[in-house]
Amino acid sequence: MPTPFPALPDPALGDGPLATALAQGAGEVLLGLRADVDAAGGAFDAKPLKDAGDAAAQAWLAAAVAHARPGDAVLSEEAKDDAARTGADRVWIIDPLDGTREFAERAGDGAPTDPWRDDFAVHVALWVRGTDDATDGPGGLAAGAVALPARDVVHTTHAPASATDLDAAVAAVLAGDRPLRIAASRSRPPAFVAALAERDDVELVPMGSAGVKVVSVVDGTVDAYVHGGGQYEWDSAAPVAVALAAGHECTRLDGTPLEYNRQDPWLPDLFVCHPALAAHLRAALSEVGVEIKEGAQS
């Protein structure tokens, strides 16, 4: 019997707790699909499971947002983009399943008894017009949550971590006692990241989805995440909201501000770093040919 969907969230929740409830609920949907596979013997085809994950998480999130915030617009990876959202005052920016491949893979040799990979995420962010604390432009990220369902962890803006808790760890980088740890794609790191890896003072840490990479900066697993291959707004909005709430620096690679709820949701690149290391990393990026705007943040 298929695992039932979770209940829809309470409309009385504030935006921050609602973002958390939305991310958690979609995570429960995804874990339910995995549980159904295990209950059927553990063997599966990856493509149907990926498709089922995308569709089921999107269906629940669409119903949940319509229930809790019926007047809000939505930009989601798994739904048709309505251009009217650019004129809306409130837009939920959602990736129902960040790391589709990771969601549909087992660790180890991939045998039916091997554990599932845990490096996928659910992203839920809220953009509000006139909120400029998070981004420049006509609006900003007012709330966000990144759920890591297989780890039973949710990173949120309404109960954020603090970058200052990591100050002692990053001081070791500035003192030259350990390398700068940068989250990198397992399969397609950009050329400038490969160039950084040749430095003695940089260590690349391969990991899965974009959300996992950004929250790994927040929890101190790595010091930074830099991406140059292009992403969509739903890939970074919630992770960036969480990282900003924790006090980390989040910009374009060249230091210009990130902007969301744009007509074209494509974002060419991303820079997320502990603030005490931002200037250090920008200098390293400049040395490998990345253009940095004069007066860039940090």
Supply the CATH classification number for the domain 15-156: 3.30.540.10
Q: In the structure, what pLDDT confidence band is assigned to residue 51 with cuts at 50, 70 and 90?
A: very high
Question: Does 294 appear as a known binding residue?
Answer: no
Could you list the beta-strand ranges (E) of the chain.
73-76, 90-98, 121-129, 139-148, 153-156, 180-185, 202-207, 224-227, 231-232, 249-251, 266-267, 270-273
Nearest-5° Cα angle at 56, 52 to 57: 115
pLDDT at 134: 44
Q: What are phi and psi of 259, to 5 degrees?
A: -130, 140
CA neighbours closer than 13 Å in the CB half-sphere of residue 224:
31
Strand-pair partners of 154: 147
Q: In the structure, what pLDDT confidence band is assigned to residue 15 with cuts at 50, 70 and 90?
A: very high
Question: Does 98 appear as a known binding residue?
Answer: yes
For 5, counting Cβ atoms within 10 Å of its Cβ (0-12 exposed, 13-18 middle, 19+ buried), the class is middle
Question: Does 235 appear as a known binding residue?
Answer: yes
pLDDT at 286: 93
Q: How are beta strands 266-267 and 231-232 bridged, if at all?
A: antiparallel
Give per-residue pLDDT as tens, 109-120.
888 999 999 999
Average pLDDT over residues 52-65: 98
Give per-residue pLDDT as tens, 111-154.
899 999 999 999 999 999 986 544 444 579 999 999 999 999 99
Which CATH number is correct for 163-288, 3.40.190.80, 3.40.50.150, 1.10.357.10, 1.10.3720.10?
A: 3.40.190.80
Concatenate the DSSP letters of all residues of 90-127 into one string.
EEEEEEEEE-HHHHT-BSTT--TTSPBP---EEEEEEE
The sign of the CA dihedral 204, 207, 208, 209 is negative
Q: In the structure, what pLDDT confidence band is assigned to residue 293 with cuts at 50, 70 and 90?
A: low
Answer whether residue 41 shows pLDDT above 50: yes
Residue spans of the domains in the chain: they are: 15-156, 163-288
| Distance in angstroms (rounded) separating the CA atoms of residues 43 and 54 | 19
Percentage with pLDDT > 70 across the chain: 95
